[in-house]
């Protein structure tokens, strides 16, 4: 059972690359060329996107924002912590994309905060309709790896 509620025949264990600093750094290095020109802030989605965005920020030198699913009622009470997104070109970063639902929701929330977003970047696109859902929301999905790449290898 995936977070999206879908049942899958295979599971991409993202924690195998997120929890290994050497492998995570290699993943981030592979993602650097996919970062669109003009990106000003990298926005990692809670929880899996946080490790990826931190490693990618280290590689690109771009500031990072850490995006919650919902703002907390205490502390700063912000949806996005870290770098300011208002008026800036933001790239949303996620680990694995299935339906694209959380990226679409978070992008809408970030846009309400004034972020300019037209791309999202993930490590693995499961190729289960996420890119199409995001395209309908005006977001082009970029991926380091797609299901077809993993099946081929």
Query: Contact, 121 vs 132, CB < 8 A?
Result: no
- 137 vs 24: CA distance, rounded Å: 29
Neighbouring-strand partners of residue 146: 125
What is the pTM for the complete model shown?
A: 0.91
Binding site for orotate, by residue number, is: 98, 126
- Higher-scoring residue by pLDDT: 152, 125: 125
Domains of the chain: 15-152 (3.40.50.2020)
Per-chain mean pLDDT for the chain:
92
Whether pLDDT at 1 is above 80: no
Binding site, by residue number, is: 3, 68-69, 72, 94-102, 126
Whether pLDDT at 153 is above 90: no
pLDDT tens sequence across 57-103: 999 999 999 999 887 777 777 899 999 999 999 999 999 999 999 99
Binding site for 5-phospho-alpha-D-ribose 1-diphosphate, by residue number, is: 3, 68-69, 72, 94-102
- 75 vs 57: CA distance, rounded Å: 24
């Amino acid at each position: 059972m995936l977070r999206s509620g879908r049942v899958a025949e295979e599971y991409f264990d993202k924690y195998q690359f997120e929890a290994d600093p050497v492998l995570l750094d290699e993943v981030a290095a592979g993602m650097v060329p996919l970062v669109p020109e003009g990106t000003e802030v990298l926005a990692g989605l809670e929880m899996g996107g946080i490790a990826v965005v931190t490693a990618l920020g280290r590689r690109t030198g771009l500031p990072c924002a850490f995006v919650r699913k919902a703002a907390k009622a205490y502390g700063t009470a912000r949806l996005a912590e870290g770098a300011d997104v208002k008026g800036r070109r933001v790239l949303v970063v996620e680990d694995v994309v299935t339906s694209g639902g959380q990226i679409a929701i978070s992008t809408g929330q970030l846009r309400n905060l004034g972020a300019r977003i037209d791309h999202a970047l993930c490590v693995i696109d499961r190729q289960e309709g996420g890119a199409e859902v995001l395209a309908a929301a005006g977001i082009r999905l970029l991926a380091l790896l797609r299901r077809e790449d993993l099946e081929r290898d």
